[in-house]
Structure 1
Amino acid sequence: MPIAFWCVLIAIFLPYVGTSIAKFTGGGFGPRQNHDPRTFLATLEGYRKRANAFQMNSFEVTPAFAAAAIIAYVVNNAEPATIDRLAIAWVTSRLLYLIFYIADLALLRSLVWFAGMALIIAIFVVSA
């Protein structure tokens, strides 16, 4: 299986890193909160709130990345190694995005978000 497909699998599970940080660090989440976890997440502040925002943003952007990676292999116009490198770079950008989001480094967070979007475009472009 291509490395890019493994990156898609990683991308699918990355949002849960954010939600785990939001729910399980700092305490407060337990069986009662599990009855209505969205209400609990809406009350968070600081890095936990930002971790939850990472989760939501990840659910928004992951389908575009997955589509780009899969389509790139389907059309078979690009060198597989190039697609794999771009996919690895995208996952790396998302990990940096998480780190910068939690650390409240807004400018760096925005820059790596734009880099991630540019990588999605690049995957499409090299496959055209």
Structure 2
Amino acid sequence: MTVALWCILIAIFLPYLCTAVAKIGGGYRLRDNHDPRSFALTLDGFAKRAHAAQLNSFEITPAFAAAVIVAHLAGNAELVTINVLSVLFITSRLLYIICYLADWAILRSLVWFVGVGLIISFFFVSI
């Protein structure tokens, strides 16, 4: 398994890190597990931003996974390049989550664009 493929696994689980932060920050109790989606609607502040970061992480992960797989299948990009782009993407996602939790909206948006740019990069290096 390549580093890039391991990064897909990491990207799959990053949203759940945000879930844990949202639940802990929102005062989640096990009894709330009967209807966790309604609980998410009650969140505000830090916990609400953690939930939003979770949703965004779920949204972007399929694009990242597809880009890594396409880069592997195309066979034109060097493996080290694919691995570096993948690690940079995971780093951008961690920074994105930090920016979201800290409520640094402009920086968060910039980091999001970096992540999307990295996804696009996989296709260009595969040409």
Give TM class, smaller chain. over 0.9
2:34 aligned partner: 35
Is 1:5 the counterpart of 2:5? The answer is yes
Question: 2:77–2:125: 8 Å Cα contact kept in structure 1?
Answer: yes
The CA distance in 1 between the partners of 2:49 and 2:69, in whole Å, is 30
The CA distance in 2 between the partners of 1:57 and 1:109, in whole Å, is 12
Please show how residues 1-128 of structure 1 align to structure 2 within 5 Å.
1-27=1-27, 29-128=28-127
Q: What TM-score do you get using the length of structure 1 for normalisation?
A: 0.96
Residue type at the aligned position of 1:87: S
Cα distance, 1:26 vs structure 2: 4.9
Cα distance, 1:71 vs structure 2: 1.1
Specify every segment of 5 or more residues in structure 1 that has no aligned partner in the other structure, as ranges: none
Residue type at the aligned position of 1:12: I
Question: 2:74–2:126: 8 Å Cα contact kept in structure 1?
Answer: yes
Bigger drift between 88-97 and 16-25 goes to 16-25
SS in structure 1 of the partner of residue 76 of structure 2: coil
Give identity over the alignment, percent: 60
Cα distance, 1:92 vs structure 2: 0.3
The CA distance in 2 between the partners of 1:106 and 1:13, in whole Å, is 23
Q: Structure 1, residues 62-115: CA drift from partner, whole Å, max 9, x if none?
A: 000000001101111001000100000000000000000000000010000000
The CA distance in 2 between the partners of 1:120 and 1:26, in whole Å, is 32
Pairwise CA RMSD: 0.8
The count of corresponding residues between Structure 1 and Structure 2 is 127
Q: What TM-score do you get using the length of structure 2 for normalisation?
A: 0.97
Q: Detail structure 1 runs of 4+ shifted over 4 Å in the superposition.
A: none
Cα distance, 1:14 vs structure 2: 0.2
Cα distance, 1:31 vs structure 2: 2.5
Residue type at the aligned position of 1:55: Q
